[in-house]
Amino acid sequence: RLSGNLAINIAGPDASPEAVAKIERELGLDRPLPVQFLDWAGRAARGDLGSSYLFHERVSSLIASHLPVTLTLGVIAIAIAVAIAVPLGIVAALNEGSPIDTAAGMIALAGQAVPSFWLGLMLILWFGVDLRWLPIAGLETWQGYVLPSFVLAFVAIPVMLRMTRSGMVDAMGSDYVRTARAKGLSRAAIVLKHAFRNAAMPVVAVSAVQLGFILGGSVVVEVVFNVRGVGYLAWESIGKGDFPVIQAVVLLFAVIFVGLTLISDLFGAVLDPRLRGR
């Protein structure tokens, strides 16, 4: 359980011990933690996530109103990541050991090393403050999606780029590619119709998992860009000690991640015939 006393947060710092104890009894906070957890888990299994002490609203309604924003950002971000990582991975594999390959590796390294909040602040400074090309906060226009979506995409690019490059390098050295060359097929046909079709299978499967990481990492990005999604809701709730909302958001992200992992496995089985019999 999070630190702090929820009853004091609700009653106020100047509340009497009697008032705090009354709120604890009303909310069931005076019961042992295992009992509180089992009670919450039982209600959550029935779809009852409780009420927010901060917003005075049903938690399920709060999440339902904030979730579309986070999902939209996540889908745009994974689309950007695929559009950047896959072509760059193909080009790097076709030019293995060249400066292009080195540059692609540096981009992947930067994607893993650069913190999301720092990248977000730098993009706000460059494109929002200095150049004034894009809005620095909110989603009032479509331009507002550009910067937060790119920051979220930057998290997924390294994994997808490396998987694409590795898969293409293996595919280009395989027997079926050598056979295609012997038949006189063009380089474009060999790359797109033979090598990439096989190299794309793990990339497609891992994209679903990366979407889960993107959604889970939305908290920092939504706070930096003042985007009122589930991540921002979680941040507000953590600051105020609104336990029911925090528990519901953690549960939501866990369910989404497990679901996307299952989808990833199903995609792998559909795309790779070798996995269907297992």
**Would you list the domain boundaries of the chain?**
62-275
Q: In the prediction, which pLDDT does 92 show?
A: 92
CA distance between the termini of the chain: 41
- Cβ–Cβ < 8 Å for 39, 49: no
Nearest-angstrom CA–CA distance, 195 and 12: 64
Q: What is the CATH number of domain 62-275?
A: 1.10.3720.10
Tokens at 26, concatenated: 């009303």
Nearest-angstrom CA–CA distance, 127 and 108: 23
Q: In the prediction, which pLDDT does 3 show?
A: 55
pTM exceeds 0.85: no
Tokens at 171, concatenated: 């595919």
Q: What is the mean pLDDT of each run of 10 residues along the chain (278 residues)?
A: 65 77 78 84 84 85 92 93 92 90 90 88 90 83 90 91 90 84 84 81 82 87 91 88 87 89 78 59
What percent helix, strand, coil does the chain show, rounded to 5? Answer: 75, 0, 20
3-state SS class at 24: helix
Q: In the prediction, which pLDDT does 15 show?
A: 77
51 DSSP assignment: B
Q: In the prediction, which pLDDT does 64 show?
A: 92
Q: In the prediction, which pLDDT does 241 show?
A: 78
Q: In the prediction, which pLDDT does 276 show?
A: 56
